[in-house]
Chain A
Amino acid sequence: MKKQQIKVSTANGRNRRQFLKTSGLAIAGSGLLVACFDDKELYGNDGPFDLGGGDLGVLNYAYALEQLEAEFYIKVLNGTYWSGAAEEEQTILQDLYNHEINHRDFFKTALNANFDADVVLPTLEFDFSSVDFNDRDSVLSTAQLLEDTGVKAYNGAGKIIETGAYLVIAGKIVSVEARHAAAIRSIRGGDMDDFKLFAGDDAVDPATGLDGAEDPSVILAAAGGFIVTEFTANKLP
């Protein structure tokens, strides 16, 4: 197979920035420039960071979700539930920790390689005070929620992606999120003798056999409880 290249042209943003820098206007008074150019992200104005639209918006969105998942599993591996968990559960959660950190750092690298640093989502702060990392059920139910949410998020974001190479990469990741979701669900299902929970009727529509797909606005509203750092997704559906 021909190797996909993630590098895409971001000429507009870069050119404008370079133009403004060389012309010295960038330092002159950003308020005026913002008004003139309507390009707020470039100058980090007072409003919260916006994810942006199109490919940039989706990549920032995915980066936000992967940061959330990675931070969650870092906390899981520091909790007493994990350190005393059965071997199978320990292994699964450690794998999920590995995969989500890898995803997070992939998006950080890919974004910075293709876009100006000031339009790349910064490192977010999270609040997991609603989760008891010393409690098995609290950890596993939150893991299920996050993995199912990840699946719905990527499934819903596919149609926003403009570049085929990015769509393929999102596809490479979403199926792994779905594998995770099924594994966590399978463990929880085993507890309750529900052997169909890995792809339960609550996640996969039994009439159509379809998984969920949601727009970023729905996902971010649902995940918002965990996210402290304010940002907006005004250019995404």
Chain B
Amino acid sequence: MSIIKLLEDFTTDKLTTEPSSRRQMFGSMGSLGKKAAMAAIPFGLAASTSKAKAATTASAMQTYPNSSLQLALVLEYIEADFYAKALDSGVLSNYPKAEAIYMQISKHETAHVNLLKGALGDAAFDAPEFDFTAGGNFDPFGDDGTNDAIAYQQLLILAQAFEDTGVRAYKGQATNLMNDPGLLTVALQIHSVEARHASEIRRLRGIKGWITGDERGMGVPPIAQPVYIHEDNTTHGGVDVTTLGDGSPFSFESSTEAYDEPLTSDDAGAIAALFLQN
């Protein structure tokens, strides 16, 4: 879980008084640049360089649900912080419907954070600082003087990206939770709430609540394309659903809308990394 290691390092560096032990843990990798590079290391490799290295096979298995929940916690931290700041920004004051929607979503995302922190226990970590400009690409809270109408559109675009990412990320972790039916069910119960959110935000933006092909939807900049990569898949379990019949239910559009695609840990982590403060 590369993104998790990166986050842990950022947050722990600020708190710990023993930099040498941190350094030891990461071997010769001391620079932020190298830590950032770790974010690009595939899941399994990153895990092997971490504390889990010396773990037995059995306990390594047990870290699996934890890494899935940690990825979920990162995404929920992003969402919870984003909606709280959005509601606090004043940008929504002229948009009462959107404000009501954001309040409802904010309530859920905060609850998800608490739920995941509880489930993770000692394996939880504090929220890092996020950069919702994504390196200067957005000004969703109008902090940089962007007028409310434009900031509002950016608030919706970011919310759409976070929710559609959330749906795909939880879906991608489902098989990692199969050995723990209780956790799996909770993850599924969060997953479908993210999908409800995604649908509503998308419709608020004037586009369909479901994803056609791998389209980002009008107004969403190309930087968000990783959120929709492979969403145009039409083959599920070896069955190409466009070949199942004739007519509108089996068109490319319908066939891609009817199925949401999972996102790998790496792909979800890379999207989260766009919003890490550096």
Interface set of A (CB-CB < 8 Å, partner B): 1, 3-7, 91-92, 94-95, 97-99, 101-103, 105-106, 109-110, 113, 151, 154-156, 158-159, 161, 164-169, 171-183, 186, 195-196, 198-200, 203-204, 206-213
Contact = CB atoms under 8 A, between A and B. Distances in A.
Interface of B: 96-97, 100-101, 103-105, 107-112, 115, 167, 170-171, 174-175, 178, 181, 184-186, 188-200, 203, 208-210, 230, 235-239, 241, 244-245, 248-251, 254-255, 257-262, 264
Contacts of A175: 167, 171, 191-192, 194-195, 260
B241 A106 contact: yes
A96 B36 CA distance: 43
Contact of A169 (B97, B236, B249): B236
B237 A102 contact: no
A7 B238 contact: yes
B178 to A, nearest CB: 6
Contacts of A203: 196
Nearest to B101: A195
B111 A208 contact: yes
B107 A198 contact: no
Contacts, number: 210
Contacts of A204: 108, 193, 196
Provide the main secondary structure of the chain B interface. Answer: helix
A105 B189 contact: no
A165 to B, nearest CB: 6
A213 to B, nearest CB: 5
A49 B210 CA distance: 35
Contact of B196 (A106, A166, A167, A178): A178
B237 A4 contact: yes
Most buried by B among A91, A203, A206, A208: A208
B194 to A, nearest CB: 8
Contacts of A198: 101, 104, 196-197, 199-200
A172 B261 contact: yes
Contacts of A178: 192-193, 195-196, 199
B249 A199 contact: no
B258 A182 contact: no
Q: Which of B181, B200, B244, B251 has the most CB atoms of chain A within a 10 A radius of its CB?
A: B200
A193 B60 CA distance: 50
Contact of A98 (B108, B167, B171, B257): B257
